[in-house]
Amino acid sequence: MDADAPFDSQAEEEEEEEKETRSQQLARLNPILLEACRCNHTSNIISLIEEMADPMVEDENQWSPIIWASSHGNEEVLRRLLVEQAHAPYQRAGTSLESMGMLPGSPSSASGGPRPSSPTSPVAASMIAGGCGVGKKKHTPLHWAAYRGHLRIVWLLLQQKMSPIESDGLGNTVLHQAAAGGDHDVTAVILSQGADVFMKNKRGHTAFDMCTNVPTQKLLHHCMQTKACVITSKGFSATVLRYLCSWTHAVVCKEAAVRMWVYENAKRNEKEKPLTLSREAKETVDTAERMLEVANKVEKTEDLDQVIAALENAEGKPVDAKLHKATTKLRGKLESTIRLHEAMANKSIIKPEVEEIIPADDLAMAADNLARAIQDAIRRRAEKSLTDTGANLRRRLLCEANLSRYLVATPKLTVGYIRYFQELIDACITESGNQHLIKLSTAFRKRISAERAMTLKFDEVEELCKLSSIEEVPMDEERNVTDKKYPEWIADIEKFSAFQEEYVKDVEYGRETISSETLVAKCEAQLTILEDLLMEQRQITEEVNLKKKKGKGAKKK
């Protein structure tokens, strides 16, 4: 034992040095923390807490970080302080877990309590272990939050079991401070938690006496005028507190009040908003929520009226925000589905077997309406199979609109025009477009193709067909055409004949495709002339060839 004594002594000395170091650290950090809280410098406050400043520190006037945060309405700092158990000194007396806000759903329990190394952990732990009330404070965070009108701060503090009937150093309850601040919503929340509206402070003033805001005065006067519970008829007194129904503003006793925590809105993940309902109001709200729950299971558009009825019944009632939002989304989904079905059901435009040419503008308008309906349905999470069908139909309408526009336009006899026309036809076929439109467009495309071919042939031999004899074509001794306005193939019987045959086929195709009668007649007239010129050219060629043979025979002799 004696051998170990030096080691024990050394350990004690090291522990003492650590304590002194910790004390010095707090002496340095705590004043800086209080000043940062006074100036409401959020980042500095968080940083100082991370550096192990004491979040429960108070100045000589009992101003602590949590009181400063509540006074400033700094929700970020307040939430961090709640995690650090900085609210513990201000909680009402009660069982340890309840008084310390350690029930499920409180910020303390959700975060797992204070950090093991937190300087306030031992303090909070001792309070929790003792399960007793806290020494009298000059003021509480709830007093300042109520006075400043910071509604969400009031909610958070109430959830941490801070008493709304606690009085400050001047005898003001939280209701006094809320009334003095004049915020109607904050005053209503405090009244909903149970209040003695006739309680006077040390100067003999009630909450009503301290209020200058007219709407808030009316609310307080309403509570003061209600002498007994509207449900149980139990008379109110200093011990039988008034509870204001958050929805109907009926004033009831504790036995007729149902208090709960609800979602502030559908985006919130924690129930942090206090709600007090009279028993009758609770039954009404429960009925409305049951209707929403049933409506929320609807899948068919035929049952849309049931969903609308449930939402209309819930209008103005404090029903579950997430349930209401889900039902509202379902309504939007069903309505968008119906609108999409209607946009897809335009029989006169959309049926592929309609045997008429629908104006391109009408088709484009139908496609635009369908696009809006599809976008709305997608945004409202309608069935993907339905929106896909709508998208396919929209593509078809656009293809038909483009094709219809080309069909009625003045055609151009160019390769690019004809090629693009065919691409439009192919696209319409791919999208199972209007068969009548496809048939007419195909016939028209063939017609302009035939007219292009005939026109090219006509232009090529126009100057040639003005001649009365092939001999009028300027040629050299080798019978080569020397004037560029005449085709070079004239001197070549095979090429001349091939052109003639191809021209005949083009004209026949023009007749089949019901091409311009004027153009067909002009081309047929040319063919007659070309036939005569071709026969003349054959004779000339034969004569030339015969002379060449005779010339070769004379040379051999």
What span, in angstroms and rounded, lies between the C-alpha atoms of 148 and 70?
A: 8
* Average pLDDT over every residue of 72-79: 98
Q: Tally Cβ neighbours within 10 Å of residue 543.
A: 10
What residue ranges do the domains of the chain occupy? 19-162, 344-456, 462-549
Tokens 């809320």 belong to residue: 178
- Provide the mean pLDDT of the chain: 87
Spell 248-281 as b/e; 16+ CB within 10 A means b.
bbbbbbeebbbeebbbeeeeeeebbbbbbbbbeb
pLDDT, position 280 = 97
Contact 43, 33 (CB under 8 A): no
The letter for the amino acid at 333 is: K
Contact 45, 37 (CB under 8 A): yes
Share of the chain above pLDDT 90, in %: 73
Helix (H, G, I), strand (E, B) or coil at 271: strand
Contact 375, 394 (CB under 8 A): no
Helix (H) or strand (E) holding 258: strand 257-263
Contact 421, 427 (CB under 8 A): no
Lookup: tokens for 455: 């026109």
Using only C-alpha atoms, the chain has a radius of gyration, in whole angstroms, of 48
* Average pLDDT over every residue of 338-356: 76
What span, in angstroms and rounded, lies between the C-alpha atoms of 445 and 273?
A: 71
Backbone angles phi, psi at 187, to 5 degrees: -60, -40
pLDDT, position 103 = 36
pLDDT at 134 over 70: no
The single-letter DSSP state of residue 489 is G
pLDDT, position 502 = 96
Q: What confidence tens digit (pLDDT) does each residue in 156-172 have?
A: 999 999 999 999 999 99
Tokens 């309405």 belong to residue: 73
What span, in angstroms and rounded, lies between the C-alpha atoms of 507 and 485?
A: 23
Higher pLDDT, 411 or 257: 257
Angle at 152 between CA 150 and CA 156, to 5 degrees: 115
What span, in angstroms and rounded, lies between the C-alpha atoms of 341 and 374?
A: 10
What span, in angstroms and rounded, lies between the C-alpha atoms of 323 and 542?
A: 101
Q: What confidence tens digit (pLDDT) does each residue in 434-460 have?
A: 889 999 999 999 999 999 999 999 999
pLDDT, position 114 = 35
Tokens 């209401």 belong to residue: 324
pLDDT at 146 over 50: yes
Contact 383, 337 (CB under 8 A): yes
Q: What confidence tens digit (pLDDT) does each residue in 203-212 have?
A: 999 999 999 9
The single-letter DSSP state of residue 471 is G
CATH architecture, domain 19-162: Alpha Horseshoe (1.25)
